[in-house]
Amino acid sequence: MIKIEILYKCFSLLLLTALLNGCALVSGSKAVPISANDRELIQHAFATVQSDVPFIRHPVDGRPVHQLIIGFDGTMNDRERIPSDEKPTIVADMMTRLGGQYFPGPGMQNPHYRNLLDGMFGYSSADIAQLASEQALAQSRQWMSLHPDGEIRIVVTGFSRGAAIARHFMNLLTAAADQDAQLRHKVYFYAILFDTVSTGQLDKLDLTLPTSVDYMVHFVARDESRYLFKPVIDEEPDITTRVYHLGGPIAPPRVNRIVLPGSHSDVGRAYGKGIGMLYQQLTEQLLYQMGLIRQNCWDGTDEALLAGKHDSRGLLERVTGVAPPNSSGFTERQMISKQYPNPSMERSGEIDSRLIAMSLANAERGVNMQSYSQQLVPLNLVVRREGGKLSVLDWNQREYIDSASFSFSDKDGVRLLRYNFLPPYQEGGSTLLLNSQIWDRLPENQAAVLSYSFLTHEDEEETIVFVNDVIVASFPQHRAGARQTSHERSCGVNANGELRGKMRSFIIEAGTFKVRELDESGI
């Protein structure tokens, strides 16, 4: 495998045209259905960004706060030059919405042409980080000269190589600030990174997290399998410095890695359709929690889930035998680990105190997120095959399905699993055909997860069957075992065109126990 990878890298670096987005030699875009395990990962991701997140606009100890926002896009990505079959990346979308300083990715630094060599090797990466650092340093010095008792909070985001540039930028600016008496220990970073990749620049950029990072969320693609897209991930030091507040509040985790189903560009939301649309909502909810946007309501359907994730393998991966997502031969993504430095005891205590203060500020302001959607809920069963018999051990739709109604029959090789829905959801029952493709993949005398999903593409629709998260069969146009859930409510729109929840929300103030209604003017 190592020899194949070396040959692949050499061949890829000789192909200038391989840099063009959509080139089949190095990138694919075939839709892949969302599995039951994928849905669990997505639910976990939303639960994470809806939990303990710092409200970064909150002034700690009353000190004035100056906020900068800086974003770095990925290779060959520029929000002003987007191919017709793609969307702006999630970073481009964020920066358009938040404002701040936006930097196109390597290969797109000149507004008049695409630099394919730069796109290939990423040699502009360090220069982009250096320019951003110099600009941020100048702004920080100017502001601190007016507010010497204040602090600088920098929101940093990046996708792909842009995330690698963001890491290098944070290290450059931290080093410069540490040499400036006016800025030392007064510059703090809040990073939202998307699938950090540093191809061609691994040894030229400082990719470790500096101790000046107060809070970071790194979204990492689980199903990316291309050789040149190994992500950089952060590992905790072997010996960590933590300050524990006995009996008091616990600080939000400082470094957060959230693994998401899909490919590199699914997480970066660069495809025209698919699960990346849902990851945009995920990011927006994080931004609301951090106090960066006012939108607190989301309307949606299951369109993103039905359009699926993507198989990004190009021709070269297919020729060298790399297996697609959710196949029996699929292997875990290889990653590059970077151990971040351990803060000093003093700095660790400061980080915890700051994060606790900002977390409590979120509770004080009353976070109120609302989401309305209409979804098809696929059927997931835990089954056990014993000889010619099949028993159902567990299932996900307990509020809809009559537990006593499961029955299995095998007549002349036609295997059917029947069950009934509880009233008033559906009269009669439902029948699942377990053909040989499905039956033969169920392990003997072992519990297995039999799950169903749906995929829509090019005006066609399929039902996909999984056994233990591996695709084993597909059928056209029939939604097996699905229940549709919907909500009548939807988001409202305020005078500024922002989506806001219609539900009235109240908060009980600590200490006084007074009840107050959340104000529309508050963020």
Would you state the pLDDT for residue 432?
A: 93
Distance CA 79, CA 88 (A): 6
Would you state the pLDDT for residue 372?
A: 76
In 307-399, the DSSP E strands lie at 309-311, 336-339, 370-377, 380-386, 389-395
pLDDT digits (tens, 9 = 90+) for 162-177: 999 999 999 999 999 9
Distance CA 372, CA 136 (A): 39
Place of tokens 């990505």: 77
Q: Contact, 489 vs 496, CB < 8 A?
A: no
Cross-strand partners of 259: 220
| Closest residue by Cα to residue 333 from 401, 385, 259, 396 | 259
How many CB atoms are closer than 10 A to CB 411? 7
What lies within 8 Å, CB to CB, of 28 at 6+ separation is: 310, 311, 312, 313, 314, 317, 318
| Closest residue by Cα to residue 482 from 397, 424, 415, 398 | 397
Distance CA 338, CA 497 (A): 42
Would you state the pLDDT for residue 457?
A: 77
Please determine, for residue 522, whether its predicted confidence score (pLDDT) is greater than 50.
no
pLDDT digits (tens, 9 = 90+) for 94-134: 999 999 999 999 998 888 888 888 888 999 999 999 999 99
Please determine, for residue 458, whether its predicted confidence score (pLDDT) is greater than 90.
no
Domain ranges of the chain: 1-365, 380-477
Q: Which of 3-7, 23-27, 250-254, 374-378 has the lowest mean pLDDT?
A: 3-7
Place of tokens 């693609």: 221
Please determine, for residue 16, whether its predicted confidence score (pLDDT) is greater than 90.
no
Pick 59 or 479 by higher pLDDT: 59
Would you state the pLDDT for residue 14?
A: 44
Distance CA 250, CA 477 (A): 50
Would you state the pLDDT for residue 28?
A: 86
Q: Which of 30-34, 153-157, 508-512 has the lowest mean pLDDT?
A: 508-512
367-382 CB burial, b ≥16 within 10 A, e <16: bbbbbbbebbebbbbe
pLDDT digits (tens, 9 = 90+) for 329-352: 999 999 999 999 988 888 889 999
Please determine, for residue 136, whether its predicted confidence score (pLDDT) is greater than 80.
yes
Instruction: At 44, list the tokens.
Output: 């976990």
Q: Is the pTM of this model over 0.85?
A: yes
Would you state the pLDDT for residue 483?
A: 52
Distance CA 151, CA 143 (A): 9
Would you state the pLDDT for residue 238?
A: 72
Work out the pLDDT band at 24, boundaries 50, 70, 90. Answer: low
Instruction: At 412, list the tokens.
Output: 């002349």
Work out the pLDDT band at 248, boundaries 50, 70, 90. Answer: confident
Task: Name the helix (H) or strand (E) containing 59.
Answer: none
| % of the chain with per-residue pLDDT over 70 | 84
Q: Which of 111-115, 250-254, 286-290, 423-427 has the lowest mean pLDDT?
A: 423-427
Q: Between helices 276-290 and 36-49, what is the axis angle to 10°?
A: 20
